[in-house]
Structure 1
């Protein structure tokens, strides 16, 4: 017979992460950043320049390695991407694999 315990809905808090409350918040912001970059058809270089950061830092954040970034910094990136989006189909072909190399076709992170 199994015995189940119910805890908080934040698994990071249950696992003892110091920034447990910020992790889901940061993940949501980064998802919105990625969606905006993708919808605008920006390259990593263009997006990094627009955000005022390096391509390597942007890539880390987009691949889920955002623990070293403050939520306020990520929010400022998102604000810089808050412009009317115009989809550019010709630039979007193969966008995910070209500009988000941390994800494969299965969407799983490949950066260790």
Structure 2
């Protein structure tokens, strides 16, 4: 049995045909950074919500990869609020 393997690009959203693939890729990178920082600081959802001044539901959406409704600017603000990774 032969299995065909298709090599994709470096942007999964482009491979899936999204019109806003570049923006989605950037937002996915920002979400990953936010998640890493929250984990590195060992923040509970409540503590992360207070630090970032957003609802816990928004944090939950980001951690589940549901960030389409959040602007790139807002995500950059969250990264800035978290500051350098590992700093508490």
Interval containing the TM-score (normalised by the shorter chain): 0.7 to 0.9
Matched, 1:55 2:56: yes
Q: Could you list the runs of 5+ residues in structure 2 that have no partner in the other structure?
A: none
CA RMSD in angstroms comes to: 2.4
Whole-angstrom CA distance in 2 between matches of 1:5 and 1:43: 40
| Residue of structure 1 equivalent to 2:87 | 85
Whole-angstrom CA distance in 1 between matches of 2:11 and 2:48: 31
Q: How many residues align?
A: 86
Q: TM-score, normalised by structure 1?
A: 0.64
Write the deviation string for residues 69-98 of structure 1: whole angstroms up to 9, x where unpaired.
Answer: 111111100100005625xxxxxxxxxxxx
Q: TM-score, normalised by structure 2?
A: 0.79
Q: Which has the higher contact order (CA 8 A, sep 6+)?
A: 2
Whole-angstrom CA distance in 2 between matches of 1:18 and 1:63: 21
Q: Could you list the runs of 5+ residues in structure 1 that have no partner in the other structure?
A: 87-112
| Residue of structure 2 equivalent to 1:92 | none
| Residue of structure 2 equivalent to 1:74 | 75
Larger helix proportion of the pair: 2
Whole-angstrom CA distance in 1 between matches of 2:7 and 2:32: 28
Larger Rg: 1
